Structure formats: C-alpha cells, structure tokens
Structure 1
C-alpha cells in the first residue's frame, strides 16, 4: 500500500508463498523490526481499547519492573512470579545484562529473547542456571556463538529451541545440542552456519517432532542425518535452493511426517517419487519447485492430504486427472500455472475443498461451471484470469464463500450483481477500472463485509453513499478513484476500520484528515498523492493507534511528520515520507 499503490504483480516471495518479495527477514533491515514493533504495539493497543483492568499481580509486576534496579535476586520468589517479572522486562525492553543476573537459579521455564537487543554469550551463564526447569528458549538474532551454546548441556529437559539467524555458530556449536534428547521442536531458520556436516548433531534428537531449516543454504546432503527421527511430524526446508532429489530419499522412511514444506527447492518429479510412502502427510508445499503434473501420480497416494500448494510449478492440463483422487483436500493452490478449464473438470468432486487458488491461470467462465458443486468452498482466488461477468452466475450457490478475489479479471458491474446473494462474504477484491458506482450498489446486501478492495475502480462521491451499508468494514481500499472530501464524509462513520487506503485520489485536502480523525481504531492510513499539507497534520492527533502512515507526494515535510509523531502518535512506527 505504498504511495504508488503497487500490487502483487511482480515477483514471488520465496519466504511467503502468498505475497511478493519482502525484506522482513533481513536481520539488519528495518522491516523485520517494524513487524515486531507492529505486533507488540497492536497487542497493547487492543488491551487499552478493551479497557481491561489489570490484576493486583500485574500491577505489582509492573511496579517491580519500573524499579528493577533495586533488586539483586528473585531466587526466593515462586517460579511463576519470577517468570512474570522476566516476561514483563522483555516486553517493556527493560531487561539488561545487569538485571538478568537477578534471575540466576530462578528455575524459569520459558526464556524468549528472540530479536531482543544485546543478547550475547555472557547471558548464557544465567540462562543455563535455570537448569532442568528450562523448557523453551528463543535466542534468535543474537550474537551467541559456539561458546555460548555449550552452556545448554545443563538444560537437559529443554523441549523447544529457537535460534533463527544463527550466523555466529559453527558445526562445533551444533555438537552441544546433540545431547538435548528431550527436544521436540528445533528451529534454525535462515541460518547460514548450518551445514550438511553439522546436521550430524540432529541424529541424536530422537524425540524431535518439528524441525525448521528454512533458508539454510548449505544443508544439501545433510538430510540423511534425519532418517532415524521417527517421531518427526513437521519439516520445513523452504527456500533451501541447495536441496535436490537426492535429499528426498532419506525422508522416505519418516512415516510419521505430516507436514513437509519445501517450496523453491530443486526437487523434481523424481524426488517426489521417493516420498510415496508418506501416507500420513497432510500438508505439502511444492511452490516454485520444477515439478510437473506427473508428480500427481505419487501425490495421489497421500490419502490423508489436506493442503497442497503447487503454485508456480508450471503445471499443464496433462496429468491433472489425478487431482480427483485427493478427496480429503481442504486447500489447493494452483496459482500461476498453465492450466485451463479442462483441469477444473477433475476438481468437481473434491467436496471437502475450502480454499482454491487459481491466480493467473487460463481459467474462463466455463471453468467456473465445474466449481458449482464445491459447496464447502470458503476462499476463491481468481485474480488475473479470463473470468467474466457471465461466469459468476455459477458461484451463486456457494453459500459458504467468505473471500473472493476478482482483481484484473473481465468482471464488470453486471457481474457483481451475481454476487449479491453470497451473504457470507467477508472479503471482496474487485480492483478494476471496469467497476463503477453501479457495481458498488449491487453489493449493498453484503452487510457482513469486513474487507473491500476497490483499487482502481471508478468510484465517485455519489458511490461512497453505499458504504453506509458496510458497518463491519475493517479494511477499505479506494486507491485510484475520483472521490473528494465530500465522499469521505460517507466513510467517517465506519468506526470498525483499522486500515484505510485513499491514495491516488488527487482532490483530497486537509479536510479529509479532519473527517477521518474520528476513526480512532485506525492502524494504517494512506492518503498519498493528494493535496494534504502540513497544516492538516494536526487532525491526526486523535489516531493514537496509528502505526503506519503514508503521505507520499503530498505537500507535507518529513520534519513536520516527525513532530506530530513524537507529540501525539506513540505507536507510529512506519512513516512515509521519512
């Protein structure tokens, strides 16, 4: 939702199969810190809005944290009280290495310091002093190295260890966790230090149920060390572009495996053949892998499969008849493939299907006829297909449909009338220049809508009158319309809104900011490419929950934006222009 209203057209995000390339996992980048801050401030804001009265214990914990410098040790306190104090110090960013010493030998069970600043080897002495009480540890993005990991030998009951972005360790450091045989969950996501040789340490973790090695780029050949982990149920090797068919063979004996994430690897149909014995598999992600429809010959044997992602795999219609065997499927992603209406014939009997993604496939009106029997369908993605208004009549009986994306299709105002009976709809995306006020009027029966995206639609001030029917809207995007301040008057009473995008409406003025100042639940506001000036910024003061604000290509300065941020918008973490 930037000033230019860029859409998802460009690239696949090999870290997130639903969106475009993101920098949120860049260890030194601001995006990841932004996501952390947004999540934290959202929780705090929600609690304030709900007016929750803190308990006596909560008040005491907060007071102790405010005066933390007065206390040398919490050793004598009950463990649950020490745990609450520790958690609050982390949440409020008050925990320092000096304060950490007060928690020595407190028998804490959970130490979650992921992305916390300043965590280093010297912290591990106090962390390890929790001994056999410690059950869960997150030290992601820290500077802990091999010498720090060696302390974990004293925490033999550890069940959950998360050390994502662990660039400071080596194969030697991994040896120190090989004795943690009680581990059930282990994550080394985006850790360039993990190598095939280092994965020998995993062979002893016989109770491991979940292993996350996403974006570990040096593990080719190391998967062989997992073949004895018979309790393993979930394995994530997404975006490990070093993984090939040869790495699949050791997985063939992991018969308890239920979830396998391996998008953007080099696995082909031959590699999938090794997996044909995994009959308990329920979730399989092959997005971006160089497989063809021939792999369905083996996938159709996964009789428990519920979720299958074949997005961007280059499938064609040939071989798609095997989809008919996947009768338990609840979610199927076929986006960005070369399939046509002929493929959809084989989906018509998947009666348990709840989510279907056909984004950018060669699907037309006739194909939708094959979907009319999918009565459990809740989510349907048809963006960038050849679907037109006539085809939408086939969806009229899908009464459980909650989300449909019709962006960049051939649907016009007349087509939207065919959706008027789908009263379960909560999310609708019809961003297209062919949609006008008349199309919006046809949607007034959809009073349960919570998300409405009209990017590029030709909505005028008159059309905004219809928004009065959508009292439950939490997200509204009117980017690129032709509304003025007069039209915003019909939006100002949508008090449930948390996201509002009015960018590219060039006639909006400071009056718009005055009108939306009553939408105090707003978390994100975009009014880029408008006539808003520095003088209008004063109207933003009531929006205390605002975390993202975009006023690009407006007559505002970064200096004035910074002033209003410091003076009145405590939760604002993303501002454009900066």
Structure 2
C-alpha cells in the first residue's frame, strides 16, 4: 500500500514490476496530483485501470508490454481527458478499445505498436485534434480503412509509423493530405514506385523509412521535391546506381542508409553533392578503393559504415581526414591490414570502431593509442587475440567498455 505521504507525488514508475496487481492499484486512486504513471511490463494489472478513472490531471500513461491489458481495461481511460501521451504497444487492444479514446482531445502521442487493431480504428482517432504522433507498427493493417487518414484532425500528424503492415500503394493515396508529416515509416510494407507519387506534397518530411519495400529507381523521382528530407533508408529495396543520381538531388539529406548489394562505386559517386551528410550506411554495397575516393567529399560525416565491400588500405586513405567521425565500421573488407589502423590513428573522435573479418593483427594495435574516446572496438575474425585486447584496455584505452574478441 502506498503511503498517504505520497499524495503530492506527480510522477511514479513501477516498470516491469510483478508486485503491482489489479487489487493493489487501489492505492493509485488517491494520487490526484499524479501527472505521469509508468506501468510498462506490469503483467498482473488486468482489471486495475478502474482505479485510475479519477486521476483527472494524468498526462502520461505508459502501458507498453502489458499484454494483460484488453479492451475492457481501456474503457476506464475514457474520462482521463488530460492525457497527452498514451503508450499501449503489445497490449491486447482492438478497434473496440481504441473507440474508448474518442474523448481524449488533448492526446498528442499514441503508441499502438503490435496491438491487433485494423485501419478501422482510424475512424475513432480521426477526431483527436491534438494528435501529432501515431505508431501503428506491426499491427497487421491492410488498405481497407486507410481512407480515414483523410480526416481533418489527422492532418496535424507529424510522426506516422506504418511499418511491417500489409498496406500497398492504395493506402498511400490517403496519406497525401497529411501535409504536416515530418517522419513517415513504411518499413517492410508492400508499397512501390507508383505509391511514392502520393508523397510529393509532403514537403515537410525530414525522415522517410522505405527499407524492404518494392521501391526502385523510378519511384525516387517522386521524392526530388522533398527538400527538407534529412534521413532516408533504402536498404533491401530495388534501388540501383541509377537511383542514387535521383537521391543526390535531395540536398538536405544528412543520413542515408543504403544497405543494398546493387549499389556500386557509380552509385556512391552520385551522392557526392550531399556534402552535409552526417550518416552514411553502405552495408553490403560493392564499394572499391576507386569508389572510396568519394568519402573525401563528406567532411561532416559522424558515422560511416562501409561493410562487406572491396576496400583495401589504399581506400582507407580517403577516410583518414574525416575528423568528425565517431563511428567507423569497415568490417568484412577482408584485405584490410594493420596499415588501416595506422591510417585512422588520427581520428581521435572515434567512439565505435569495427574492423572485423580483416587481416589486422596484434602488431597493429599500437596505432590505436591516441583514440582515447574509443568505447567499443570489434576485431572479430582477425589476427588479434583476446589477451592483446585486454592489454590494450588495461594500459592504453581505459574507456573501452566493449571489446571483441574478449
């Protein structure tokens, strides 16, 4: 039982506590000044939300991973009209449960990730005039019902996550009126080139997630007018070098994820006009030393991942002057040697370094002595031994907290 002395508390967290039960939640009823309540991962609270119905000042409620929570619980939230942030991911809430939220007109953030809802729930949400962030990731949503995205109130949405659903281009038709969107996640959806034409008017978009979709070169032409776009993920898509030339027109891009074996030196060269890039992920791209020369153009890079290509020590010469780098991943470039460690020895801002699956040896570790900010060092499947790594940590790099091999 909570002490009466806690009656003035404004924030309370019992995250992942098996000690909180539906009966025990009676003690919450008197916490009338409570603003924030975190019950994430509490698995014994089914039936207990009834004791929250009089918390008229509650603004934030976290019920993530409470897989005991069902529609019958959500109805007790209907009168909590001060709620602004409601987290329900991985609960057993359906469209019926969402319908109880109609009156929460101050709600700005709603997370329904992994809940068994359909697009029909959007009809209830379309009246939430303050909603700016909606997460419907992994809900199993189809196109039917997506016409409710055209509701007048949902036009205020800034963040929309539709990843890992069954939506197609037919759904994207209904997103074109969401003109305030700044972040859109379509990861692993069945959308393609034709669907992207409906995003042309979303000129405020800063982040677009298209990983593992059917988008190819032709679709990228529809994005060229999105001048505010800063981050785009095209991993595991059909985009090739030709598509990279279209991406290069997005001058505001700061983060590009191109995990794609269809990208070669030609595609990388098409990006050299994006001099403001701070993050570049080329995992699996077929980059050679010739293409690595393009890295010189990205002076602002803080994170570079060029794994699984054909880069040798000669190519690393184009990386050694990228002084802003805090993360460098060159793993699976099998011909890198100790010379690479010598070349990058001046990148003193590095926090994470990965040169796994290469020919680096114990002898090369001496070149890392000035990388005093290193916290993570991965040299798996190299000629470096665990004992030498431990010596490096003990004598030279005391800030290392993650080492492989270990």
Partner of 2:265: 437
Q: Displacement, 1:175?
A: 2.2
**Using the alignment, how far apart are the partners of 2:274 and 2:355 within structure 1?**
26
CA contact (8 A) 1:179 1:204 kept: no
1:186 maps onto 2:186 in alignment: no
The CA RMSD over aligned residues, in Å, is: 0.8
Separation in 2 of the partners of 1:366 and 1:183? 53
From 239, 249, 258, give the equivalent of 2:84.
258
Partners of 1:575 and 1:543 in 2: CA distance: 14
Structure 1 residue aligned with 2:225? 397
Provide the C-alpha distance between the structure 1 equivalents of 2:100 and 2:218, rounded to a whole number of angstroms. 44
Hey, what does 1:63 align to over in structure 2?
none
Residue 42 of structure 2: which of 213, 216, 220 is its match? 216
TM-score by length of 2: 0.98
Number of the residue aligned with 2:361: 533
**Cα distance in 2 for residues equivalent to 1:273 and 1:438:** 52
The offset of 1:179, in angstroms, is 3.2
Please state if 1:175 is matched with 2:5.
no
Q: 2:295 aligns with which of 450, 458, 467?
A: 467
1:577 deviation in Å? 1.3
1:318 is matched with: 144
Partner of 1:286: 112
Residue 363 in structure 1 maps to residue 186 in structure 2:
no
Q: 1:204 aligns with which of 20, 23, 30?
A: 30
Q: Residue 235 in 1 paired to residue 34 in 2? A: no
Q: For the residues of structure 2 that align with 1:576 and 1:360, how far apart are their CA atoms?
A: 32
Q: How do residues 28-47 of structure 1 correspond to structure 2 at under 5 angstroms? A: none
Distance in 2, matches of 1:347 and 1:247, equals: 31
Give the CA deviation at 1:275.
1.3
Q: CA–CA distance in 2 between the matches of 1:196 and 1:552? A: 48
Match of 2:277 in 1: 449
Tell me whether 1:407 sits opposite 2:235 in the alignment.
yes
Candidates 519, 524, 527, aligned match of 2:347: 519
Alignment check: 8 A CA contact 1:175 1:198 kept: no
Q: Partners of 2:357 and 2:47 in 1: how far apart?
A: 52
Q: In structure 2, what is the equivalent of residue 99 of structure 1? A: none
Deviations for 1:363-417, whole angstroms, at most 9, x for unmatched residues?
Answer: 0000000000001110000000000001100000000000000000000000010
Asked if 2 retains the 8 angstrom alpha-carbon contact of 1:179 and 1:205, the reply is no
Unaligned 5+ segments in structure 2 are none
Residue 164 of structure 2 corresponds to 336
**How many angstroms apart in 2 are the aligned matches of 1:230 and 1:383?**
42
Deviation at 1:504, TM superposition (A): 0.6
Q: After the TM superposition, which residues 141-152 of structure 1 pair with which residues of structure 2 at under 5 Å, given as runs? A: none
Q: Which residue of 2 aligns with 1:427?
A: 255
Higher gyration radius (CA): 1
Residues in 1 aligned to 2:8 and 2:128: alpha-carbon distance in whole angstroms? 30
1:546 equivalent among 360, 366, 374 = 374
Q: Matches of 2:120 and 2:5 in 1, distance apart?
A: 42
Measure the CA separation in 2 of the matches of 1:212 and 1:551. 40
2:126 is aligned to: 300
Which string of whole-angstrom CA distances, capped at 9 and with x for unpartnered residues, describes residues 330-363 of structure 1?
0000000000000001010111010000000000
Q: Alpha-carbon deviation of 1:534?
A: 0.9
For the 8 Å contact 1:396–1:419, the answer to whether it is kept is yes
* Structure 1 unaligned residues grouped into runs of 5+: 1-173
Is residue 280–residue 303 contact of structure 1 (8 Å, CA) maintained in 2?
A: yes
Q: 2: CA distance between counterparts of 1:361 and 1:271?
A: 25
Distance in 2 of aligned mates of 1:403 and 1:351: 18
User: Which shifted more, 206-215 or 452-461?
Assistant: 206-215
Find the aligned partners of 2:28 and 2:106 in 1 and give their Cα distance: 22
